[in-house]
Each structure stands twice: as structure tokens, then as C-alpha cells.
Structure 1
Amino acid sequence: MAGCVASIPRPSFHTLPARLRDRAAPLLASVTQTMSGLRDKSVRVWRTAIATACEYLSRLRRSVSAVAARLSVVRDQLKQSFDRWVEGGALFPARHAERARLLEESPRKGSSRTMAQELAAIMPPPPVTPFLRLRALAAGAFAVVGVFVVGFGVWAVFAPLESAAIAGGAIEAESSRKTIQHLEGGIVARILVKDGDRVAAGQPLIRLDDTKPQATVQMLQMQLWDAQALEARLLAERGDLGTIQFPSTIRPAARNAPALADIIAGQIKIFDTRRKLLASRIEVVERRKAQDGQEIESARFQAQAAAKRVAIIKDEIGVVAPLVAKRLQARGRLTQLEREQAEIEGRLGDAQARMAKARQSQGEAEAMILQLESDHQTEIAQSLRDARAQIFELHERIQAANDVLARTVVRAPEAGTVTDLRIHTPGGVVAAGEPLLDLVPGDDRLIVQAQVKPEDIDLVRPGLDARIRLLSYKHRRVPPVDGVLTYVSADRLVDKETERSYYEARIRIDEASLHSLPEVEIMPGMPVEVLIKTGEFTVAHYALRPVFDSFNRAFRED
């Protein structure tokens, strides 16, 4: 029956439905408050009872003192009566002569002998019966039991006992066991370690095939050199330099890279071609500008000649016109002079118009030259921006490609021991993110990772002392190790295998306590049992706790 009762799972408030929890929470709070009041009232009752008992003992002591005084008076009275009885002589039997002699020899009042001794000297000893012997044994037994009960009660009320929450766990590395994975995956080239090998930080563990990452890096490097050569050519064009100043990183590399030498030669050829093309365009416009200048000079000469002829004709008309008015000269001569004047003035206007047109064309030629140079610089600036953006992007891509290339060698992130190696076949394929092996840190500090029961979480908090029992060693040979609770999870966790709820706790092992056991060597994975000290309680508290727990469970809805 006891085993059946013990197998019944303990009810938990958190396992009740939400509706029942909401209805039971106020009642539980009220019951808890009532029980707290009853507990305080019980403490006050016990204190009052103890005070009353102390007062009763004080009164009893005073009563005993009064009784002792009365007994002293009775003793004196009895002594006087016996003295008178002995002095009478008639009633005293002969068989008591020796006792009378002893009474005569005994000291009188004020002697150190007690009344009991005097009575023992006078009265004959009482007969010893089995009943008296049994009563004496019973009185002694009751006295012993009473002393034991009172002593145990005082010890149960006042003697403190340590309370602890028990949790199972295991030794773990403080930074936990490391699972080594590969981001991109690939083909396994070489496996450099095996299970149990101790490795240093940065030591190669596995090599993957680097053909594809190496080709990617080389391709991106060629694109970078091309963009840098383009940038150098554009800078030379923008500064109107005679030659291209290539970066110092390109020239040495061109000796061992024929493709880079071809890139440099191509940029030099483009540079010369573009310079010649721009120069030819500007030269064409300059020729046109020179022709316009010649046209301007020719028109200016013609305009000057026409202006002189117009002036001469005007002078001649000034002479002929008065003569024609006086009828001294024929009218036809004046008309001819006026016709010539109009014709020459027309030629003068035409020359001036051609000169203005030539000047306009010359201005357009100058503007065209400026436009050609501006377009050329704009094109260079745009190409330079694109080239520099490409260079920046290629630097980033090359860095990423170099990272991928470097990751083809899987290295140990820190010193430790290789365990659970999952690949064993060179040439096999590793998927992206697939675990390759586990690494147990070697220089990391070891801690205890324990699982605290949910019903004990209200007593557990960081900073509490703990005792760690190493289950791999016999308890008689190896005492528990001291530790300190450093971490308690903020929420409840569930074990995926057992589906049992728990709170994760971490305990730091006391190095001094561990060093005091030179024969003990701890390692990750070792099972332990942790006793987390939660406080001090008395035996009476433990005895009465089931009563209070039964009250707490009595007011729950089924």
C-alpha cells in the first residue's frame, strides 16, 4: 500500500486547467494567508505557554521553599517529641537501648545531621517488597522517558537543520561543447584528426577541395586588375598626361601574369587612340576656326575698300549735284554716280555681313572645342566613378572569396579534444551547415549543469552555496565538493527525451575544495548530484510541514 501511495504523482498547481487555476488562486491566497495567521498565532500560543510554564516553575520553587521551611519546623517539633519520649524511659523497650545511646550521642539542635538521618537512627528500616521495587523501577523509567521527551522537544524546536534542493546534473565546460560545422560545404580532401586527438587553437582539422574557390578568387583578381588599369588610364586622360601611371601592385604582378600584361597593353593602346581621336576632332574645329578668321580678314578688306569708294562717290556727287541743279551738267551723270554709290554700299553691307557670319562661326568653333573637351572630361569622370565603384565591389567580393577559400581548411576554434567525428571518407560530400565533429574545450573551466525541479524553484536563486557529490566516485572515499550557484534559467525548460520539466542551473566548482582531493579528476560528462542549500529549519518545522501542505491541498477543486 505504501508503495502504491508513493507512486501517485504529486499534484501541481500548474497542471490544473486555466479556469480552475483562476478560480482557485484567490481561495489559495486566502487559505495561505489564514494558515500564515494560524502559524503566527501558534507561535504566540507557544510563547505564552512557555512564559506561563516559567512563571509556574517560579511559583513552584517558592512553594518548595515554603514547604522546606515548614518541614524544618516539623522536624524541630518531632525532635522535641522524641526527646521527651526518650527521657520518659518507661515506654522505651530494652531492645532499643543501643539506639537510645546513639540518640544521646547525636548532636542536638543546630547539628549537621538531618532529620532523615535521625529518624533512620531511631526507626527500624521499612521492609522491601516486590511492589516497592516495581514502583521504583517504573518511576525511574518514567523519569528517563520524561527527560528524553523534554530534551528532544527542546532540540526539535531550537536546533537548526540545513535544508537543500536536490538536483541531478553533469560536469560541463563553461563555454559548452563546440560543434564544428562548415558554412558552404564541399568535397572532403583530407581528414587530419581522429577521435580523442588533442588539438591546439587554429590547428587544421579537415581540408576540403579548394578548386572552385581558388578559381573564383583568380577570376575576381583579374577583374580587379582590369578595373585598376582602367582607373589609371582615366586618371592619365583627366590630367592630360603623356603616359599612364599604373599602381605599384600591378607592374610586378604583370611579370608573372600574361593576362595582366595584356590588360596593361590594351589600356595603353586605348589611351593613345583616345588622345589621337580627341586631338583630331579639335584639329578639325581649329581649321574651321582659322578659315573663319581668314574670311573675316577678307570681308574686312572688302568693307574698307567699299567704304572708301562710297566716300569718293559722295564727294563727286557733292560736286556734280550743284552743276546739275544749275543745268551746267547733264542729269545722267548724277544718276550714274548715285547708282554706283548704291551698288558700292550694297557690297559694303555684304562684306560686313560676311565678316559677322565668319566671326559667329569662329565663336561656334571655339564653343565646339570647349564642348569636345567638356564631353571628354565628363565621359572620363563618369567612367572613373564606375571604375572606382567596380574596384570597391571587387575588393569586397575578393575578401568574401578569400574567406570561402580559407574556410576550405577547417580549423579548431580553440584548444581541446576531438570527439564524435562524423566524417570518415576522403572524397565524400559535406552539405552546407552539416556538423563535422565536436570539440571539448581543454583549457576551459569546468562547471556543473544541473536540472532543478519546478517545485523547488521558489527556494533556488543565484549566490546560494551547494554541495556537489561526484557519483563516479564512492561516497565513502570522496566527500562532496563545494560550489556556488551562479545561474538559474528565467523560464522552465522541457527535456525532449523524457518530456520532464526543469529549470537549468549552473554551479561554479570551488577550486580550493577540488584541490584538496588530489586523487579526484573531473571531466566533462561526469554525473553529479547537487545539494543546493536553501536555508536552515528545525525538526519541528519538518514535522509540521506535511500538516500545512495537507491544508493547502485540502481546498482544491477536483
Structure 2
Amino acid sequence: MAWVDGIRGLKTGRGGAMPRRRGDEVAFLPAALEIMETPASPVGRAIGGTIIAFFTLGLGWSWLGHIDIIATASGRIVPAGRVKVVQPLESGIVTAINVQDGDHVTAGQALIQLDSTTTTADRDRVAADLAQARLDVARLTALRAGIAGQPVAAAFAAPADAAPILVERARAATLAQEAAQRAKVAALDQQIAQKRAEAEEVAVTTAKLTASIQLLDQQVEMRRKLMEMEYGNKLSFLETQQKLVESQHELTAQKQRAEEANAARLALEGQRAQAVSDYGHQVLEDLAAASQKVAEHSQDLIKADQRLGQQTLTAPVSGTVQQLAAHTVGGVVTPAQSLLVVVPDDVPLVVEANIDNKDIGFVHRGQDVEMKIETFTFTRYGLVRGHVLDVSRDAVTPERDTAGGSAAQRAGGDPEAGARDHPPSATPTYLAHIALDRTTLMVDGHEEALTTGMAVTAEIKTGRRRVIDYLLSPLGEYVHDGMKER
């Protein structure tokens, strides 16, 4: 290749640099000289400079630029007051179903009727017991008035709602009881009068004997003196003395009889007073017991009426019936089983979202939210904006359905169904309610209303940060956690 070196020498020799060849001249040179004479392409330098420029711009933007920090939460659209679940208090048999899914109902309207045979019988029994207790109070009140000297018949005042036949029975029982007491007292009064008359008779006899004894005593004394003077007959003296002794014995017997009569009279008077006192005490005790029964049966009647009323399941609010679970007349329902829900009318819709533990510390009331409605693709129909209304203060396990009923209730009252939907190991979350700025979306040229139960993905703006912080945060985690594994 000496000729190549010679040519190179001509280019760089003492004679000075050769002028740059034109493009057409270079094209006719040998291949090696063509490569040497062709200048380097500027594209490489341009690409390198562009990369460096973009890197510099990106680094500057990552330092100066900020992006939103988003907490993503899933949830559902619910009424602001939540849907109202209709449940029976106790087991029962369905006798009538008055509504279907989608029906509009008003507050208090009967929805489902349960068999009320047992509860009606219990209510009637309690009502009968209460009526009887009230009649007992009226009867005993009249008897108490009779004790005070008032007419019993006039004092008897039966309740206005009492059955006439029961009133007549109670009136007859009152008069009979009062008559029996009067007869008992009258019998004692008669015995007392007899003893008093007997005592008076004995007193008269005693007075006669006392006077007779005085005369006989004088006769005995006179006959003794005559006999001492030998004028009298001893036999007559002895006969007179015998009459005196007999009269004295009779006087002693009459005095004993008088004491017995007085003692018997006093005993009878005591019995009379005791009978009157016992009768009064018994009437008062029975009146207190009857009043207590009235109070107890009144409360029992309230409970019985409540149980009877609960056999008719009514709408708690005006709204639309959904999720009707009872479809068979004669079917059995269980306590707390969700039979249907009522979506209230004229209440605003909100989103009930589940906030993860890792995000709850940054979610606060008033933060802006963008929501993607699962039913309507957000890339085509747009987002719905809103703001956070409130956040729960405690975590809850995701057992409750965000529409207002538990999974067990949605499964027809089967608690195992709820356990299958949400296993015990489910991570607790915090509930947040989000207000919607609008409740419609423009879908294919017309407004489409958002409805209860639609699934939503909420993106809550919790703050802003530099782009470089976002890019370097994974590296920071790796550096912190690296070389620590087991």
C-alpha cells in the first residue's frame, strides 16, 4: 500500500494540505480513500445531545414538577340515609306478600303479613286478665267505700270498656261479699245482745236476792231472840235460817253467772271488732294486689300489642322495594332475616368507600375525589367528581354490605353465607362517605342517572409531591429493607 502512503503524504506533507474533494470526486476514489475522505455524520452527535438535553429537562421537571398523591378506594353508591332493611323480630309463617321488587311504597304501608294466631291469642288472654283485674279494683273499691259507711251499690263503678256480663258478675260478687260481712257482724251483734240481756236479767235477780237476804236475815235474828226468850219455835227458826243460806248461795251463783255473761259479751265484742278489722285489712290487701295486677297486665298488654303489630311488616320510609326475599305464602321466616330493603325517596346519593389502613392517615374531610363508575367506562363517559364527607374513627371488618345489609342477610338469613363472602381473615378497613357533585352521566347523548348499588372506584387526592420523590421512593425502600432478609 505504498501508493496510499504516498497519497497520504501528499495530503499532509510539506507542500500543505490538499483541498477537500467534492462529493463526485470522492465517489471515484478507491474504497479506502473514499472512507477516509468522507466526513463523519452529525446525526450521532445530534442524538447524543438530544438525549442529554431530554435527561436534563426530565431531571429538572422531576425536581420542579408535582403530581397528585392518590388513595384508591372501592365502594358502592348508597342513599345518604342508607337503605332500610325490613326484618321480622321472631320466627313466623308468611300469610300474605303485598309487594314485589320495584314497587313504590309509602311509610307505614303493609309489606308482608305473618301468621298472628298465637300472638292474637296471647293478646286476648292478657286483655281478659287486665279487664278482670280492673273489675276487681272496682269491686274492692266499692267494698272499701262500704266500710267507710257509703252505699256499696252506688260506689261500684265498672270500667267503661268492660263486658256487661262481667260487670254484672262483679257487681253481684261485690254485693254478696258485702252482705256476707254484714251477716257475720249481725250474728255477732245478736250474740252480744243476748249476753247483755242475760247480764241484765242476772242483775235483776241479784237485786231481788239481795233484798230477800236482808229480810231473811232480820227474820232469823228475830226468831233467835224469841227462841232465847222461850217464846219461839226452834223448827221455825231453823227453816228461816235455811232459807237465808239458800238465798245467799243463789246470790253467789247469780253473781258468777253475771261475770260469765259479761266475759262472754266482751269476747264477742272483741270477735266483732276483729272481724271488722280483718275484713277491712283483707279488702285493702286485695285492692293493692288487684291494682298491682292492673299495672302488670297493662304492661303485658303493651308488649302483646307490640308483638301483634310486629306480625305486619311495614315500610319504615317511603321508597322503592328491592331484594325481596320472601316469595312463598306459608313459608317460614327466621328472626332478623332480611326479607326486603326499601330505598328511600328524595335522599341524596353518596359513595360509601372502604379506605385501606395504609391510606387512612392521609384521608380527611373535604378532600377532592374523582370517581370511576364501573357501569360506565370512564375513558368514554368521564369521571364523577366529589369530596369526602366523613371518615370513620374505627376500622371495621368488611362483613356489612355497603348497600345497607350484611352478606348473611343478602343470602336469605344464612350466617354461613356471610362467612363465605367475607372470611374472618379479611383485612379491616375504614368507611368513608363521599358526596357526589352530580348524579348523572351523559351516555350516548342523554342523561343517565346513577343508581344505588353501582360499584365505584374512588381516587381521593390526599396531597402532592415532586416527581423525583415518586421515582426515588422505591429505591429508598429497597435501600432501607435490603440485606435484612433471613
Same fold (TM over 0.5): yes
Partner residue in 2 for 1:236: 142
Partner residue in 2 for 1:497: 421
Q: How does 1:85-484 map to 2 (within 5 A)?
A: 142=49, 151-240=57-146, 241-243=151-153, 245-250=156-161, 260-313=163-216, 341-462=244-365, 464-473=367-376, 474-484=378-388
| Percent sequence identity over aligned pairs | 23
Distance 1:322 1:385, change over 3 A: same
Partner SS for 1:172: strand
Q: 1 CA distance for matches of 2:244 and 2:287?
A: 64
Distance 1:492 1:379, change over 3 A: closer
How many residue pairs align between the two structures? 418
Structure 1 or 2: larger helix share? 1
Partner residue in 1 for 2:434: 508
Partner residue in 1 for 2:407: none
Q: Deviation at 1:279?
A: 2.3
Q: What amino acid is aligned across from residue 195 of structure 1 in structure 2?
A: D
Q: 1 CA distance for matches of 2:199 and 2:441?
A: 114
Q: Note the alpha carbon deviations across 1:315-371, whole angstroms, 9 max, x for none.
A: 566767788889998988887776655543333332222222211211122222222
Partner SS for 2:248: helix
Is structure 2 residue 446 aligned with structure 1 residue 536? no
Partner residue in 1 for 2:390: 486
Q: Note the alpha carbon deviations across 1:401-456, whole angstroms, 9 max, x for none.
A: 22233223221111221112222233444444443222223333322122333433
Partner SS for 1:239: helix
- Return the TM-score normalized by structure 2: 0.74
Unaligned runs of 5+ in 1: 1-128, 254-259
Distance 1:307 1:555, change over 3 A: farther
Q: What amino acid is aligned across from residue 96 of structure 2 in structure 1?
A: R
Q: What amino acid is aligned across from residue 432 of structure 2 in structure 1?
A: R
Q: What amino acid is aligned across from residue 203 of structure 2 in structure 1?
A: R
CA contact (8 A) 1:449 1:504 kept: no
Q: 2 CA distance for matches of 1:178 and 1:480?
A: 26
Partner SS for 1:501: coil
Distance 1:155 1:324, change over 3 A: farther
Q: 1 CA distance for matches of 2:175 and 2:267?
A: 28
Q: What amino acid is aligned across from residue 186 of structure 1 in structure 2?
A: G
Q: What amino acid is aligned across from residue 421 of structure 2 in structure 1?
A: E
Distance 1:140 1:171, change over 3 A: closer
CA contact (8 A) 1:485 1:505 kept: no
Q: Deviation at 1:202?
A: 1.0
Q: What amino acid is aligned across from residue 156 of structure 2 in structure 1?
A: Q
Q: Note the alpha carbon deviations across 1:119-147, whole angstroms, 9 max, x for none.
A: xxxxxxxxxx9989969x969985x7776
Q: Deviation at 1:221?
A: 2.8
Partner SS for 2:99: coil
CA contact (8 A) 2:73 2:353 kept: yes
CA contact (8 A) 1:470 1:528 kept: yes
CA contact (8 A) 1:199 1:417 kept: yes
CA contact (8 A) 1:202 1:412 kept: yes
Q: Deviation at 1:515?
A: 6.8
Q: What amino acid is aligned across from residue 279 of structure 1 in structure 2?
A: R
Q: 2 CA distance for matches of 1:492 and 1:555?
A: 36
Q: Deviation at 1:195?
A: 0.8
CA contact (8 A) 1:454 1:492 kept: no
CA contact (8 A) 2:357 2:430 kept: no
CA contact (8 A) 1:415 1:443 kept: no
Q: Deviation at 1:169?
A: 1.7
Q: 2 CA distance for matches of 1:360 and 1:354?
A: 10
- Return the TM-score normalized by structure 1: 0.65
Mean Cα displacement is larger for which, 400-409 or 470-479?
470-479
RMSD: 3.7
CA contact (8 A) 2:91 2:335 kept: yes
Q: 1 CA distance for matches of 2:352 and 2:485?
A: 37
Distance 1:191 1:516, change over 3 A: closer
CA contact (8 A) 1:421 1:436 kept: yes
CA contact (8 A) 1:173 1:444 kept: yes
CA contact (8 A) 1:168 1:528 kept: yes
Q: 2 CA distance for matches of 1:485 and 1:155?
A: 34
Q: What amino acid is aligned across from residue 397 of structure 1 in structure 2?
A: D
Distance 1:498 1:433, change over 3 A: closer
Q: What amino acid is aligned across from residue 469 of structure 2 in structure 1?
A: H
Q: What amino acid is aligned across from residue 322 of structure 2 in structure 1?
A: T
Q: Note the alpha carbon deviations across 1:483-526, whole angstroms, 9 max, x for none.
A: 1151246236357537552513222314xx32796835221111
Mean Cα displacement is larger for which, 546-555 or 293-302?
546-555
Q: 2 CA distance for matches of 1:141 and 1:551?
A: 31
Higher relative contact order (CA 8 A, sep 6+): 2
Distance 1:318 1:554, change over 3 A: farther
Partner SS for 2:438: helix
Partner SS for 1:424: coil
Q: What amino acid is aligned across from residue 131 of structure 2 in structure 1?
A: W
Q: Note the alpha carbon deviations across 1:252-308, whole angstroms, 9 max, x for none.
A: x6xxxxxx3332222233223223322222222122111111111111112222333
Q: 1 CA distance for matches of 2:470 and 2:422?
A: 31
Mean Cα displacement is larger for which, 462-471 or 308-317?
308-317
Structure with greater Cα Rg: 1
Partner SS for 1:450: strand
Distance 1:556 1:359, change over 3 A: farther
CA contact (8 A) 2:98 2:110 kept: yes
Mean Cα displacement is larger for which, 214-223 or 308-317?
308-317
Q: What amino acid is aligned across from residue 108 of structure 2 in structure 1?
A: G
Q: How does 1:36-47 map to 2 (within 5 A)?
A: none
Mean Cα displacement is larger for which, 535-544 or 346-355?
346-355
